Amino acid sequence: MPWKFGQALNIGKRSQQQDRVGIFHNGDKHLMVVADGMGGIPKGDLAAQIVVDTAEQAFNNNKTDIPESLLEDICVQAHEKINQLETDGGSAPGTTCALLYLDKRHAHWAHIGDSRLYHYRQNRLINRTLDHSLRQLMIEQGVLERTSEEADAVQNQLYKRLGGCKDPQPDIHASMLENGDLFLLCSDGFWQSIETQRIPAILDNHPLEDDGPERLVGIALENGGQHCDNISVALAQWQKTPPRFLPGISTFFTGKR
């Protein structure tokens, strides 16, 4: 299956890059990961790197035919390794993550925290992960309006992450694939600073295999302003192929069969 892949990162206006991205391949199987180390806690960058390293190792050594098990194992292993990082008695380091496993005509994904996955088909958004944030929880409960200032104030308060005292419980989903399907994984520094419904149109003018990822990150960086967070994206698209016609044969319908 002919996939196209791309990725881009930018430090934004922060002093340290805590986002990490990985894209790994093994024949017709692919694994993508975006991890965003939690700010305000030391070693968030190391926590994010552990997720990427753990994902690569688990993918290369994978013995299971159950993608959901692989994704869950990555989260559990990364969580345990993050908790082994030495700290100065403070809170354990933490990170969010989004994972995508592609295998032939199937996609499987998992996420923890507010790193997101977007799934587009025919330029329309058909799937999107829901953040493990107090904001999302209160919106679902009808306590907050999605666009209110109160909602923005609690966006960064997460109730799920990798690292810490709570066991990781990733949300895991799957979908059949169709020709032209587009996936985007990103950190919150990206999705907070770009209109995600515009992404397919932007990639039409800036193809994924050319400068598409850098263009998307550039728009988010410009929109993020002087307080722009780290920005990261990873993209995959099943290449769009035109209908096949046999040479020398014309096919048409008269309206009746």
Q: Domain locations in the chain?
A: 3-238
How much of the chain, in percent, has pLDDT values that exceed 70?
85
Per the confidence metrics, is the pTM higher than 0.75?
yes
Give residue for tokens 């809170």: 91
* pLDDT tens digits for range 236-245: 999 866 555 5
For residue range 192-235, list pLDDT tens digits in order: 999 999 999 999 999 999 999 999 999 999 999 999 999 999 99
Question: Dihedral angle at the C-alpha atoms of 151, 156, 162, 163, nearest 10 degrees?
Answer: -130
Does 247 have pLDDT greater than 70? Answer: no
In contact, 32 and 185? CB cutoff 8 Å? yes
* pLDDT, tens digit (0-9, with 9 covering 90-100), for 28-62: 999 999 999 998 788 999 999 999 999 999 999 99
Q: How confident is the model at residue 1 (pLDDT cuts 50, 70, 90)?
A: low
Partnered with residue 19 across adjacent β-strands are 36
Higher-pLDDT residue of 145, 113: 113
Superfamily of domain 3-238: PPM-type phosphatase domain (3.60.40.10)
Compute the average pLDDT of residues 66-71. 97
